[in-house]
Amino acid sequence: MVEITPGRAYGFFTDTSVCIGCKACEVACKEWNQLPGNEPVFGDGFDNTGSLDSQNWRHVKFIDNVADETMQAGDGKAWLMMSDVCKHCKHASCLEVCPTGALIRTEFDTVYIQPDVCNGCRDCIAACPYGVIGLDEHSNVAQKCTLCYDRLQGGMEPACAKACPTQSIQFGPVDELRAKASQRLDDLHGQGIAQAQLYGADDSVYGGLNAFFLLMDKPEAYHLPNAANAVLPSRNNARGYLATAVTAVLAVIGGLVALRRRREPVREPVPEPVRKQPEGGE
């Protein structure tokens, strides 16, 4: 049983090499968090959940690279299964863009949406690079994995980790999980599974992920941004600031030109535009 102390960073180590795609995490999450789920819809036979969204805070991805062979090694690398979840990024895009302060970092170093503060603006949904967040159509608030904030406050591990039968999802203090992950990676490399790699265990993506992964292929195979592509919305800031400055300069110039023209003689009036502009337009 993990001891849960406010002030310490907690997260998940999701070891995809032992994931068996049972989806107990998906169901346990919905049961605990009282998520009714989406309307049933046929996906591809094994993944009928489709994606993380307001109703699915855990989603097992199935990536089928199985070859048509009479003998092959499974070893967790032919039919990739990965229980995806909010990464609780150290540099969290959602937190950065939230205009209301609904998104906070908790005493467990997790990223949490306060439903009573969220105004449903969807900025966080657009900002999340992992497509984690969805808008609940009934309450009109953004929802995602809370890392079972309520359970942590009660000293209990999150529901998904509790339900996972193979310890593919491990919960604990992030520093301890990183040590475990590093050991597991060494074991797999020792067994000749060279492509096994950690994702988000160091600071190379979004400053480090509190919910990080051991992957059996490169991140792109799981549709995850690699280190080169994992950048925050604020990456646009430099360009944004420059554009603002240029706009400001042009506006000043434009204003000066306009002032000069006021002194010029009035030309023939232009025809009325066809579309009626509301008052105070332009």
Partner 1 sequence: MTNHWRDIRNADLILINGANPAEAHPVGFQWMLRAKLDRGAKIIHADPRFTRTSAVADTHLRIRTGSDVAYFGGLINYVLQNELYHKDYVQYATNAAFVVKDSYQFKDGLFNGYDPQKRVYDATSWAYETGPDGFAKTDIQNPRSVLNLMREHYRRYTPDMVARITGIPQDQFLQVAKLVGEMGRPDKVMTIVYAVGLTHHTTGVQLIRSGAVLQLLLGNIGRPGGGMNAERGHANIQGNTDHAISWDILPGYLRVPAPGQHNLTDYVTQSASKKLQPTSLNFFGDNYRKFMVSLMKAWYGEKAVSANEYAFDYLPKPASNASWLSIFDQALRGKMEGLMLSGMTATSIGPDSNQVLQALSKLKWLCVMDAFATTSSEFWRAPGVDPKSVQTEVLMLPATHWIEKDGSFTNSGRWAQWKEQVLPPQGEARHDHWILAEVFQRVRDLYQQQDGKFPEPVLALTFPYADPRRPTLDEIAKEINGYDLTTGKRLATFAGLKDDGSTSAGDWIYTGHYPETGNLTKRRDGIQNPAKNDPTGMGFYPGWAWSWPLNRRVLYNRASADAQGRPWDPQRPGIRWDPTAAKWVGDVPDYPPTADPTKPGAPLPFIMTGEGTGRLFSNGVADGPFPEHYEPVESPIDNPLHPSVSATPVAFLYDKAAGRDNRFGTSADYPYVATSYRLTEHEHYITQQVEHLVQLQPEPFVEIPAELAKEKGIKNGDKVRVSSKRGKLEVRAVVTKRLGALQIDGKKVYQIGIPIHWGFVGINTGQHWLANALTPFVGDASSRTPEFKAFLVNLEKM
Q: Nearest distance from residue 186's CB to partner 1, in Å? A: 13
Nearer to partner 1 (CB atom), residue 23 or residue 144: 23
Strand partners, 213: 14, 199
Phi-psi region of 119 (alpha: psi -120 to 50; beta: other; left: phi over 0): alpha
Touching partner 1, residues 175-214 (CB under 8 A): 187, 191
User: Do residues 145 and 58 make contact, with C-beta atoms less than 8 angstroms apart?
Assistant: yes
Tell me which of 12, 13, 17, 52 binds partner 1, using CB under 8 A.
Answer: 17
Q: Which stretch binds partner 1 (CB under 8 A): 61-69, 197-205, 229-237, 267-275?
A: 61-69
Least distance to partner 1, CB of residue 191, Å? 8
Burial of residue 194 (number of CB atoms within 10 Å: 0-12, 13-18, 19+): exposed
CB 213 within 8 A of CB 61: no
Is 71 among the residues that bind partner 1 (CB under 8 A)?
yes
CA angle, residues 242, 243, 244, in degrees to nearest 5 = 90
SS3 category, 107: coil
**18 is a site residue for partner 1 (CB under 8 A):** yes
When binding is defined by CB under 8 A, the residue of 3, 7, 34, 45 that contacts partner 1 is 45
Strands 134-135 and 111-113: unpaired
Q: Which stretch binds partner 1 (CB under 8 A): 19-27, 154-162, 173-181, 270-278?
A: 19-27
Q: Under the rule (CB under 8 A), what is the footprint of partner 1?
A: 17-24, 26-27, 30-31, 36-42, 44-46, 48-49, 64, 66-76, 78-79, 81, 165-167, 187, 191
